[in-house]
Amino acid sequence: MFTKKTVRDIDVRGKRVLLRADYNVSMDERGNITDDYRIQQSLPTVKYLLEQDARLIICSHLGRPKGKVVPSLSLAPVAKRLQELLGKHVEFVPDCVGEQVTKAANTLQPGHVLLLENVRFYPEEEANDEAFAKQLASLADVFVQDAFGVVHHGAVSVSELPKYMPAVAGPLLEKEVDTITSAMENPTRPLMAVVGGAKIADKLDVLHRFIEIADFIAIGGGMANTFLLAEGMHIGASLADKDDLPVAKEILAKAREKAKDGKFVFYLPQDGVVASKIDKAAPTRIADWSAHVIADIENYPKRPPHEASYIREHEMILDIGPFSAAFIAGAMQFAGTVVWNGTMGITEKAGLQGPVGPYAHGTDLLMEAMTGKFGHRPFSLVGGGDTVTYIEERGLADAFNHVSTGGGASLELMAGHKLPGVEALQNK
């Protein structure tokens, strides 16, 4: 149960409301928005505030300008897209503090919207600058935090503003925290975690948490290569982080210990799609290096390599193979809850897109299994990041029970950590 006050717990009618939204959207080289998922997810909050005749001032960031004005990271295209989605004029000012902004905020009429320029154009934002916080706070009467994607960071618009004005949560933030917390603490079992991505270090805490609470963990993506390397497998030129080998071995040992009771499975890919380069036209083949389920296998691998299993020096594992994808998809047919964070192969590189990219077949099969194509439909929670981008490209965000707007924040919450941007808000 969400323990912080939300916008529905206070009176905002006619008041100036400063809404922290997450409009960190994907854009192409021409400044066109290619993925407006986060804008669309903010609409219920925006519409609610406008229905209350609030004078709505929105601040957000876009990209990582590192405290400098970067024209390609302006929020002007976001203002245009938000206006299209709302069907209502959105005023935009090319700054977030200063005389022009103050004038625009003071003359804003009830039920109208003002979007400020990228808050990260100011180095003070990420330096938690007190004076900058006070400048922003002077624009409004109430602060509403609805940017789940940043609440794990410390910044002026995250944890500093609540010190200077009444601060509550928006509906999106409340939904994100409640849904993810419930899936981790009170899931419909069996609980299955599917974890991909490049680096184990990025997801170390959440992997430890899943070993403690999940019934089945499936690993994919680049991090699977590091685990396989830790098990003594030859992976050729595949992406792997040798610095992560000690933690990989630690996680494997912890998983083996839990698996001794026969009620837990930690699954690493048993086959993969390999190629000599990351290219849409590159020849690929399937390498099958034997099933690797920790619950069943203690000493892996011991058999001599042969042509079908051996990864050549110049080859890279770029996706899980068909047997691995089928095994994980099959396990999903018995799951009550599936938490998914990280794709199983390379899905985000330019030039690899298509209905299904050449290294996205594993990810696509798991997506179909999660959304009920094979009969059973578990509760599905997608934890942000590249996974959401892929789902959006496929136009299937609505097919899942919950698709998070925050990658890092969702991982922190799944790991059981406190979120500074949530802790700073008023308690109920």
Longest Cα–Cα distance in the chain: 76
CA distance 150 to 161: 14
Question: Do 383 and 202 touch, CB atoms closer than 8 A?
Answer: no
Helix (H, G, I), strand (E, B) or coil at 55: strand
| E strand intervals along 36-169 | 55-59, 90-92, 113-115, 142-145, 167-169
**52: amino acid identity, one letter:** Q
Q: If DSSP states are collapsed to H, E and C, what string results for 329-361?
A: HHHHCCCCEEEEECCCCCCCCCCCCCCCCCCCH
Q: How far is CA 59 from the centre of its chain?
A: 21
- Enclosing H/E stretch for 409: helix 407-414
> 52-85 burial by CB neighbour count: b if 16+ within 10 A, else e?
bebbbbbbbbbeebeeeeeeebbbebbbebbbeb
Which residues are known catalytic residues? 38, 199, 385, 408
Torsion from C-alpha of 372, 376, 379, 385, nearest 10 degrees: -40
Strand pairing of 265-268 and 55-59? Answer: unpaired
Question: Do 6 and 174 touch, CB atoms closer than 8 A?
Answer: yes
The string of DSSP codes covering 289-345 is ---EETTT-SS---SPP-TTTPPPTT-EEEEE-HHHHHHHHHHHTT-SEEEEES-SS
Q: How far is CA 23 from the centre of its chain?
A: 14
Q: Is 415 exposed, middle or buried (0-12, 13-18, 19+ CB in 10 A)?
A: middle
CA distance 148 to 1: 17
